[in-house]
Amino acid sequence: MQNEIRRLRTERGLSQQELASEMDVSRQTINSIETERYTPSLPLAITLARFFGEPVEEVFHADGHP
Amino acid sequence: MQMAIPESKFTRRHVFRGPWLSIWSLALGIVFFTATAIGGNLNWTSFVSLGLFLAFAAVFYFGAGNETIGGLGSPARDERWMMINQRALAFAGTVVILILIGGWVVELANGNDGTPYSEVMGGGVIAFFVAALWLRFRS
């Protein structure tokens, strides 16, 4: 699933480790989300979107779905 | 704008980040060693096995700072590691099932009754259906 996590994170000057600590997940998990190898659960997706102050649909884009 | 992270972060951290795998490995090693001693079969392989259990416990205790070892040691702290753990468990379970079926067939072909493979497979099948029914009513 495409997402804007890397852009939003770098815009705020956060490292993957800092974001991972805030989300209570590993740095590898943040990296996997950013490289679209892992699709986060709905609670984590919502928490990420809230953290960046964006609607979840602006952060995550479901391919092929309207 | 950054917002506060809600709900159970604190709880999850403290419940799941204990050195559970190290404790489990240590306990298993001691139980194995004690059982061997009680059975009167204590020999050098018992000490080697105990050493392996202790080494396994030490790796997960002292290596917890490493993301991969930490993830393997306490996967519930991270949803991606939970997924990895479940898929790895399913793969390992599939391998065990194939080994059981192979052993069962070999036992039957040797003119035996398939014991203990048939009992283990029966227990596994029952456990699967009980778990599936339980999870079906819970979700």
Query: How far apart are the two ends of chain B, measured CA to CA in Å?
Result: 36
Interface test with A, best of B79, B81, B84 (most A CBs within 10 A): B79
Two tokens at B86?
A: 């479940």
Tens of pLDDT, residue by residue, chain B (139 residues): 444 444 444 444 444 556 888 898 999 999 999 999 999 888 889 999 999 999 999 998 888 778 788 777 776 678 998 899 899 999 999 999 999 999 999 999 999 999 999 999 999 999 999 999 999 999 8
Choose among B55, B61, B91, B89: nearest CA to B73: B61
Q: Which residues of A touch B12 (CB under 8 A)?
A: 24
Q: How far apart are CA B30 and CA B57, in angstroms?
A: 12
Q: What angle do CA B71, B29, B27 make, to 5 degrees?
A: 70
The ipTM value here is 0.85
A64 Rama sector, left if φ>0, alpha if ψ -120 to 50, beta otherwise: left
Question: What's the sign of the alpha-carbon dihedral B55, B56, B59, B64?
Answer: negative
Pick among A5, A29, A58 to test the B interface (most B CBs inside 10 A)? A29
- This prediction has a pTM of 0.75
C-beta atoms of A40 and B78 within 8 A? no
